[in-house]
Amino acid sequence: GATVITNLLSAIPYIGPTLVEWIWGGFSVDKATLTRFFAFHFILPFIITALVMIHLLFLHETGSNNPTG
């Protein structure tokens, strides 16, 4: 699963293989990789929620520029 998905990134010219090795944390998927993926999946919803709240705050302060209301 994780190997196949991350290997898709290796198709990016010049930086692909280096990017995959950086994401894996080595030369293969192991415990460090799974720990990184778990941490990423845990923190991502909080990051998205914070960005949505910031967006709504700015939208509330500036008002909508929609001409129909």
Indicate the number of domains in the chain: 1
- Look at residue 22 and tell me if it is in a domain: yes
- Look at residue 67 and tell me if it is in a domain: no
Q: What is the pLDDT of residues 22-58, one digit of tens each?
A: 888 888 888 888 888 899 899 999 999 999 999 999 9
Range of the domain at 50: 2-62
Per-residue b/e over 28-63, b at no fewer than 16 CB within 10 Å? Answer: ebeeebeeebeeeeeeeeeeeeeeeeeeeeeeeeee
pTM flag (> 0.75): no
- Look at residue 21 and tell me if it is in a domain: yes
- Look at residue 69 and tell me if it is in a domain: no
What is residue 20's predicted lDDT score, i.e. its pLDDT? 87
What is residue 60's predicted lDDT score, i.e. its pLDDT? 87
Q: How many CA atoms lie within 13 A of 61 on its CB side?
A: 6
- Look at residue 49 and tell me if it is in a domain: yes
- Look at residue 24 and tell me if it is in a domain: yes
- Look at residue 68 and tell me if it is in a domain: no
